[in-house]
Amino acid sequence: MEKAFDFLRENKDVAFGTVENGRPNLRVFQVMLIKRHTLYFATSPRKDVYRQLTENPAVEILGMKGNISVRMSGDIKFDVPLDIQKEIYNTGV
């Protein structure tokens, strides 16, 4: 599992899949931060992806480089601690 997180630390651009009306929606997202086994992403409450995530928090990501790929799935949580938020935005990724 650590190899997958190391890969995502080096390859931050991932396909980010959500669900809307039972249909998949993909877009490219950037992994903003990884802490332990938690991935952090950023978006705006004005975007469709934000609404999709509030309606259905299930996501899947896929990162790929050459012939190596990493796929993970999970649920989004919006309760990001303030210190983590500051770290993400101060890093300037």
Main-chain phi, psi angles of 49, to 5 degrees: -60, -35
Q: Which tens digits make up the pLDDT trace of 33-55?
A: 999 899 999 999 999 999 999 99
Question: What number of residues does the chain have?
Answer: 93
pLDDT of residue 24: 94
pLDDT of residue 92: 55
Q: Which tens digits make up the pLDDT trace of 63-80?
A: 999 999 999 999 999 989
Q: Are 27 and 49 in contact (CB under 8 A)?
A: yes
Q: What is the CA radius of gyration of the chain?
A: 13
- % the chain with pLDDT above 70: 98
Dihedral of CA 36/50/57/12: which sign? negative
